[in-house]
Amino acid sequence: MQPALRCQPYCGLVQELTTGPDHSPAQVRVIMKCVLDATVFFSDYPVSGECYTTPSVVAELVDLKSKCRYDLLVAAGLQVLLPDAHELSRIRATAEKTGDRPVISGTDCDVIALAGALGATLFTDDFAIQNVAADLGIAVQPLRQRAAKKIAWKYRCSGCGRYFKTDGECPVCGSNIKRKLK
């Protein structure tokens, strides 16, 4: 058998074509490209294919189990990559648009940006990440939770009932502005 040839990624999948001695196609194997959120390292969720994560996710791994899981995945080919700065600004703008900006962390933005840049499937249980990724057309694979439905948020003052664009303190009555489903 000849070495495997790789085709361009499509929706997080990479086709690997193995050729026979006469260079005819012998076997086609589809490999999933995936970006892993910290949830994967805290659970025993099985992953395979070309796996990636970010340095900020690695920094969140503090317990022995998650560090051991990380070491196993690195030995299996996991790559740690930094997301592109332009992609990060696009993610933050989308999070602002979807209303998830107050609850989405820098690490969350990193994994979404990396998945978008690589055309990979994002493995996460975080609903805010899933909501932003869905708005960007990034494929998401939930691990232990149900898949999040696309959510639009509104912000309402708990005191006077007025609506605002973001959470915080109401400029009218001083009460807390809370995030609610539309």
Task: Tell me, yes or no, whether 4 lies in a domain.
Answer: no
| Same domain membership, residue 107 and residue 181 | no
pLDDT at site 98: 85
Task: Tell me, yes or no, whether 17 lies in a domain.
Answer: no
pLDDT at site 13: 41
| Same domain membership, residue 98 and residue 163 | no
Three-state secondary structure string covering 10-42: ECCEEEEEEECCCCCEEEEEEEEEEEECHHHHH
pLDDT at site 9: 35
Does 8 have pLDDT greater than 60? no
CATH number for the domain that contains residue 125: 3.40.50.1010
pLDDT at site 15: 43
Q: Distance between the two ends of the chain, CA-based, in angstroms?
A: 57
Residues of the domain holding 157: 152-182
| Dihedral angle of Cα 143, 145, 150, 156, to the nearest 10 degrees | -130
pLDDT tens digits along 130-165: 999 999 999 999 887 655 566 667 788 989 988 887
Task: Tell me, yes or no, whether 37 lies in a domain.
Answer: yes
pLDDT tens digits along 115-130: 999 999 999 988 889 9
pLDDT tens digits along 49-97: 899 999 999 999 999 999 999 999 999 999 999 999 999 999 999 998 8
| Same domain membership, residue 137 and residue 74 | yes
pLDDT at site 31: 66
What's this model's pTM, rounded to 2 decimal places?
A: 0.69
Distance CA 128, CA 112 (A): 11
Classify each residue of 38-71 as buried b or exposed e, where b means 16 or more C-beta atoms within 10 Å of its C-beta. Answer: bbbbbeebebeebbbbbebbbeebeeeebeebbe
User: Domain total for the chain?
Assistant: 2
| Same domain membership, residue 93 and residue 179 | no
What percent of the chain is predicted at pLDDT more than 70? 77
| Same domain membership, residue 98 and residue 40 | yes
| Same domain membership, residue 96 and residue 156 | no
| Same domain membership, residue 136 and residue 81 | yes
Distance CA 26, CA 172 (A): 71
